[in-house]
A and B are shown apart, each in its own frame.
Chain A
Amino acid sequence: MSTEVQHAEPGIFHKYFFSTDHKMIAMQYLFTGMAMALLGGFFAYAFRMQLGFPNQHVPGYGIVTPGKYNALVTMHGSVMIFWVAMPVLIAAFGNFLIPLMVGCDDMAFPRINRLSYQIFLLSALVLLSSFLVKGGPFGGAWTAYPPLSAVGAYNLTPIGATLWLLAVALEFVAFLLGGINFTVTTMNSRAPGMKMYDIPLVVWMIVLASIIFMCSAGPLIAGAVMLLFDQTMSTGFFDPTRGGDPLLWQHLFWFFGHPEVYVVLLPAMGIVAEVVAVFARKKIFGYKTVLYTTWAVGFLSFVVWAHHQFVAGIDPRMANIFSITTLLISVPITEMIFLYIATLYGGSIHLDTPMLWALGFIAEFMIGGVTGIFLGSSGTDIYLHDTYFVIAHFHYTFVPIAIIAVYAGITFWYPKMFGRMLNETLGKIHFWGTVIPFNVIFIPLFITGTAGDQRRVYSYAQFAEQSRPALQHLRTTSTIALLVMLAFQFVFLFNFFWSLRNGPSAGPNPWRSATLEWTVPSPPPHGNFAELPTVYRGPYEYGLPGLADDFLPQSVPDQAVGD
């Protein structure tokens, strides 16, 4: 364990840039992720403006040409998944919460942790540098199918394509290092008395997500190296004229790409579990069942990848197998959602901002879940594949995951992170100003997708069926809703930075929560616990009969409870 960590206050440079403290590294990941989210949001703004108001000058960007459009959608997807969802959901929350929630002073490998962030930062800089090179950033979609991605003459962004690939590979290295840390810390550094089933769900979920990530990233890193060789050394791994196969990349990519969905989903589900338990003052309904369904999801997520490739030219018989596994995975996910809803039963529900976000996550994620059935069943996927129906579907999963659940987490743990409370009124304005426009953005896109709008085109002028005015109205509606949603994010940013100095002091446990992180001062000092805690029970002991208070913290010994 972390015997080498010194708990003295370090100098400024060491504190903010070379810290090995898990909380500081969490903040580094959080703020980098937030900065990248602004960038990813700006890309969405630019290309949605082109779709909503074709060929107009976009304020703050300019004319969106076809090449720029491709680069914008590619970068939006890559940034939001690899540089926003991953660092914030796994790295920021994982780093901040795991040592505090399992009751130890720091990560098992603090220096590997620091290295992880440094490599992550490097990967972000490599990606950003691709905006400065000749030809501009890569525009071959975040899936980077070769031969388009492999040959500069096809994609016209030879340097951008290589930099994109390097950035993704580096980012993976960062998260492999992080994943090792999360897993080892949770397995080895738990407070005495904390049994496997006493670990809070969010910690379990981040660890399982890390394990899924580590198991799935290998093939893609191998594929990335092969693609890098194809780009720069004229090898032919994916070149059919020299015995290669473009489909090989698709398999390697999606073998990673589909588990990745669950890599970001699980931490979000974990955050929501914590928030729902605290604000409903309820024990999670069937804690163990939630965990078993998580394992089932994790396992099944490795055998569904080819549902992204039904019409990609794979053997059509394979589609049947993957269609069945895909519908199978809906079973544990549905069960998980049912358990979360059942947790509300018999509770005492307080609708503070974090709870609004958590309930918003469940309500919206269900829409994303059920629309996946249309795509997982191979018959309908023939029509819907690569249409806006797919875009609307996965944004109904990814926005709840990477935006709504993240806001639930930030508003919930903000008092612990910074020692002050956020403003409730601004928080609620921000919630409604985000969730309502979110639906107005993507419900129209379900319809345009059902009407046949294909993805990744900057203009529908060439397609008579898609040029109908009714469809253009829907696209414009979606764009305007996006502008509204983006505008409301400034309410959050103001609230976030204003409350750092002006929010009321939080105290150690403002939400009256039972888990360990709320037993230390806010913000927690270097080294976390003045005296390392001992754990006596599970994480969700709310509403126990016969107690003066309605919750029982994990670290209070039984004999101290009294009656």
Chain B
Amino acid sequence: MSAGWQDYRCDGAYDELFEAPGWPRPAAQSLWAYLQARTPQELAERRLAAQLAIKTMGVTFTVCAEGRNLDRAWPFDIIPRVIPRREWEATARGLRQRATALNHFIQDIYGAQRIVKDKVLPAQVLAESANFRPQCAGVTPRGGVWAHICGSDLVRDADGTLYVLEDNLRVPSGVSYMLENRMVIKRVWPELFETTPILPVDDYPAQLYDLLAALSPRAGEPPTLALLTPGSYNSAYFEHVYLAQQMGLELVEGADLFVGDDDGVYLRTVYGPRRVDVIYRRIDDLFLDPEAFRPDSVLGCPGLLRAWMRGKVALVNAPGAGVADDKVVYAYVPAMIKYYLGEDPILPNVPTFLCLDEKQRAHVLANLDKLVVKPANESGGYGMLIGPRASRAEREEFGARIRAQPRNYIAQPTLSLSTAPTVTDEGIEPRHLDLRPFILSRGDGVYVTTGGLTRVAMVRNSLVVNSSQGGGSKDTWVVDADDAVARAESPGIRAA
């Protein structure tokens, strides 16, 4: 073995590529056979080539540090994460089921609220929900779909079980990096695509385009579609530009739009106003429309909610969809699946303690050193307590916060997130990771990306994978394991 593989240990976590040191999982066999034949120098060269490709392709994300906005090159690891095709198909079924139930739930919440009346969801959860938008009550978007785009985070515990950690229904980001990671890895390891049956990921923009175009309220006319961005200082701006270009959408800011006397939404162009039919908005609800939500917002467009409610424009995701993107509501998703679909959940939730329940709260407060505590409505990995790694003072401070605002906190056992080998400055080492697939819901079906975005905590032993906090990423390969063995024996022949 070369390139430091002999020292690779999995340290008790589930490793995505190895069953045991030196024993690759079946789907990873051809990858490992290839990687272990590479010298450390070769590996370093490919790593450099990947960094160069990322720089040339201009793949960046923006971080705000010391009061300045900095464009950082996207941190990327050249060893892919491998998922067997059969496992992925089951996971995708679970994700479809989940997205379907979530959309039923949102429609119900803004309608009859049967789930509350039937006492499956406590009324208090809704009453204190930060993402419930009373303005949306009574609306039914086309096809009853509110959360057209969902990014669900999956994590794997030591025993190999995949859990859903959270569902991002507001403005989930990361899909452009999933697409770019594949472009980069094709440049880095073109040989591997000959020997490994890796399923493609690149139909996402086409799928999303079809979804958006189908929502146009003006049937029969070629629709005008726009992506609404908060602007170039947003951390996901690269993605906004990328997706707009991939799909041929107008990239607009709030000031580019206005709502006319007819409640139609218009783009301000050099030719004068042009009607826009569908807006893929990457701005949070509260900033969308100063007339309906935060009056101080300059990112949105006055009257946008009114236009949407009158059916003059489609908004993706619909305003208010975030009501299901709340870590307390999350705890009820398995119940929702049963309630709306009459099915058992295919994918489990991470066991979750709700601090608003007195008994569960007592348990949480007594076990702060073992649990991860999260605020109900934060994203990006901010404001959480990782109990086993926190100091006594930090735990006490969190305890006080929980007592003051119990509805605002949930707690989960500290999972030992799965790992995969990662090229670091110290050699090849295990790093913890998660997976964010993207789920597109249309009235007539649900599409799930092939794999998704694998995010890696680049710091040794760290569990924080968010790119805003030093996380990186890997390309995610869904591999036909049965096919892979046969293929490895006959390199150079590519199946159709």
A binds B: no
Name A's B-contacting residues (CB within 8 A).
none
